[in-house]
Structure 1
């Protein structure tokens, strides 16, 4: 029986995930639906049906999503935008027969979205090491945090407590050359004086995490769990030089994934990001959704998007065994755009 899958306002890499679900090894039939404010967004090019999404907030957005699912008889809704708002009203989707791939533990989801709250919840546990950090909402708090970290022997960075990817991330570098910067690549570095000056222009700003800079490799651990948060498989993906990634068989990273799963019980597909400092993997964040780079991880032979759908539909499958110890990369893919 054909199942309808809906992705709302996703990253462009959702293009891959829709195709992985549709082109599954079991020959199961799926129809992919998508919505986005930009009707030319690349993710929509993988959809069988797509529509322009209105720009709404809160309950009004949930109203739209419920209506979309009802109109299109959606079986599985895989949200990225407004996950928290959707989770809070998940029962509305239950009533129309749509399964929503979202964490329904609202306090946990709130903590994962607000990174400082999640760090606070893990302090004093042995789940995963936490970088030294402070939360600042005023310029004076920012200055105090910066000075405390410098005194502790750290390089310093900062980012909003509520952001995705590298949005708002900056590294404090006081040795930058302004003229050289004009002729170089645009980067994430900023001097303390520049940052402090900008933050001093307002009495209070949205919360920033001021923290130790983790200077070594970044690792994403893509995880798949059942509806109760029982871990099925975890695949570490180390970002190497350039566009090179390594899918690693690392007991320490596997142990981190197991401890996170045991404590948090996050369902379906999610992503743990850690970064090394002096050889120690420290937590960056946990994304309660499929990661932007999951399509690289799936080169291990584990089709996580499809297995996540099978999981939420209650369809059994053998525990996947990933191929690890491999290197992978990616190239741009030309795509002929559909007529909108």
Structure 2
């Protein structure tokens, strides 16, 4: 069975190994593509090729042509995964199964502000909470940005901001009080802190800019909850705590497991998803939901559950071939860099 990964993070190399070394002995041929021929995960693929640096409908046409040419059976996309979900029927017509949930959910979760609004609306409809949210304001000009900052600081918050649509920590900044000192400039490494004056000077370069979320900064521990589900049934949720540096801990946290169950009951997210939360004064608040394999999913697989392979089984067979999982929790892990010779 042929699987294609398009333009993924380097950490997808771990998931490729997990899929290959599955407990059922199922055999897969792994295809990988990226515009950069030196993308490291290509070294882990059976067949690798350079893809054009295009997007939109042209990229959909390209993906369809690759699936036909390579006789792909399973497509696990990262690039343009929202648009691909909106064109699933085209892939199904050529016999290709695609590991994405439904298009409406993909688009909703891609927009952090829309996701927050949806949660708030559903909580009002049901009269009960789903998950706590940070205080936030959506802005698209510098005057609104200043007003949002003032509003949140009056509530006692340290303030941060990030793009409404974005991936990972791209564009995330914490607003620090006062000017940057010479000592900070010369001794600190790469920082995500920015002064209010500097932020406004940049944002005022245009009358309007793409929507930003201005939020309370959450000071506590951050968790990623790796989930495996299908057709409304949540099979697995593993809270992965980010502690000091690169150390991660799999924590049997019932409060976070309840959040995962509540969100999956409400939104019916198929296959693999990742719920990111961060604590503030003892309260876990939602950062975002990613409907894909997260960068640290391999750490959660140390629990004894081969999550990428189990997701493929859900894609192929639905809930019929899923066993009851008993993950081992309490595991602490980290990672080191490893050299790779580029052929």
Shorter-chain TM-score: which interval?
over 0.9
SS in 2 for 1:18: helix
The equivalent of 2:45 in structure 1 is 47
Deviations 1:233-292 (A, max 9, x none): 000000001111110111101100000110111100110000000010000000010001
Aligned counterparts of 2:212 and 2:166: Cα–Cα separation in 1: 10
Q: 1:154 aligns with which of 146, 154, 157?
A: 157
Aligned counterparts of 2:131 and 2:340: Cα–Cα separation in 1: 40
- Give how far 1:176 is off: 5.2
Q: Does 1:122 align with 2:119?
A: yes
Q: 2:28 aligns with which of 22, 30, 36?
A: 30
TM-score normalised to structure 2 length: 0.95
SS in 2 for 1:123: helix
TM-score normalised to structure 1 length: 0.96
Give the RMSD, CA atoms, in angstroms. 1.1
- Give how far 1:200 is off: 1.1
SS in 1 for 2:53: coil
Q: 1:270 aligns with which of 266, 270, 273?
A: 273
Q: Does 1:334 align with 2:339?
A: yes
Q: 2:220 aligns with which of 216, 223, 229?
A: 216
8 Å contact kept, 1:229–1:268: no
- Give how far 1:177 is off: 3.3
Deviations 1:270-321 (A, max 9, x none): 1000000001000000001000110111111111011111111117131221
Structure 1, unaligned stretches of length 5 or more? none
8 Å contact kept, 2:180–2:195: no
The equivalent of 2:126 in structure 1 is none
- Give how far 1:175 is off: 4.1
Q: Does 1:187 align with 2:191?
A: yes
- Give how far 1:12 is off: 0.3
Aligned counterparts of 1:334 and 1:255: Cα–Cα separation in 2: 40
Aligned counterparts of 1:199 and 1:310: Cα–Cα separation in 2: 47
Output aligned runs, 1:254-333, within 5 Å. 254-314=257-317, 316-333=321-338
SS in 2 for 1:134: strand
- Give how far 1:182 is off: 2.3
Equivalent pairs counted in the alignment come to 334
8 Å contact kept, 1:223–1:234: yes
SS in 2 for 1:7: strand
